[in-house]
Amino acid sequence: PLLNGEIRSAYLMTEPDVASSDATNISMSCVRDGDDYVLNGEKYWASGAGDPRCKVYIVMVRTGDENTPRHARHSMIVVPAGSEGIEILRPMQVFGRDDAPHGHMHIRFSNVRVPAENMLLGEGRGFEISQGRLGPGRIHHCMRSIGQAEAALELMCRRSLAKEAFGKPLAKLGANYDIIAECRMEIEMARLLCLKAAWYMDQGDARAAAPWISQIKVIAPRMALNVIDEAMQMHGGQGISQDTPLAHAWTGQRTLRLADGPDAVHRRQVARAELRKYTQEPV
């Protein structure tokens, strides 16, 4: 049903009580009890969980203890959304929006029993699975950032040619030529870096691709935010209203600077990859 598009799933990783920018910092407990696992804890920013078609959750849980290697403490398990003990606490708002119909939910699990066969790949493989999904997913996010920047630049250019102020088209006022040129150059630089990151992924070496993915994950949303902001300025009050897609696009790109790893985490990865070129010591 999921592959046929008849139902939807939601991915539950982020938690309210820990600093979730550390992907190994997950605390939701998952304890084996006979033929089941028992889950306890809370998740939030469960994107898509508010969609009435969402029937399954893919949940990152903790199965190891402090003696387990840090990257082998977590597992991923499939949980039917209607399981006893699951409580939707609230929808999370994004810049004051509830993002209906998909929704980002805050969910509590209280002694939720799940068949042991629902564990994906076995205990301790959760971090491995999540990283396998996050790398290509980040590239996909960045491709959409570039697309949104392109759309914003088109709106900006059309507006600057169609509207006049002080007897001139907006394009000829102030530094608008420079602004349009800078936006085009920023988009193309981000596009080329995104293609390079994707090329590294195509070579089949996820480790080599990682710093390039981190670079574009920082640069693409930041670039898109700037281009969209300039487009809003060109539109004046209309640019922040419901009459254009610009305000909605801006909030999405600002959110993306946190989703799938915040900027600071990715800059750290880029810096560590660079420093490793010059030392054998841990960095």
pLDDT tens for each residue of 244-270 = 999 999 999 999 999 999 999 999 999
Prediction pTM value: 0.88
Band of residue 204 on the pLDDT scale cut at 50, 70, 90: confident
Lowest mean pLDDT across 127-141, 157-171, 210-224: 127-141
Max avg pLDDT among 38-52, 144-158, 204-218: 144-158
Quote the percentage of the chain above a pLDDT of 70.
100
Query: Do 147 and 256 fall within a single domain?
Result: yes
Query: Do 171 and 79 fall within a single domain?
Result: no
Q: Please say which residue of 89, 105, 122 terminates a domain.
A: 122
Convert the pLDDT of each residue in 89-148 to its tens digit. 999 998 888 777 778 999 999 999 999 999 999 999 998 898 877 888 999 999 999 999
pLDDT at res. 130: 85
pLDDT at res. 61: 96
Convert the pLDDT of each residue in 183-194 to its tens digit. 999 999 999 999
Q: Please say which residue of 96, 122, 148 terminates a domain.
A: 122
Residue type, 162: A
Q: What does the pLDDT average to over 64-90?
A: 94
Query: Do 15 and 92 fall within a single domain?
Result: yes
Residue type, 68: T
pLDDT at res. 275: 97
pLDDT at res. 22: 80
Mean of all residue pLDDT scores within the chain: 94
Query: Do 35 and 102 fall within a single domain?
Result: yes
**Considering its fold, how many domains does the chain have in total?**
2
Question: In the predicted model, is pLDDT for residue 165 greater than 90?
Answer: yes
pLDDT at res. 25: 84
pLDDT at res. 182: 98
Query: Do 164 and 260 fall within a single domain?
Result: yes
Query: Do 132 and 267 fall within a single domain?
Result: yes
Kindly state whether residue 3 falls inside one of the protein's structural domains.
no
Query: Do 159 and 41 fall within a single domain?
Result: no
Query: Do 94 and 134 fall within a single domain?
Result: no
pLDDT at res. 127: 87
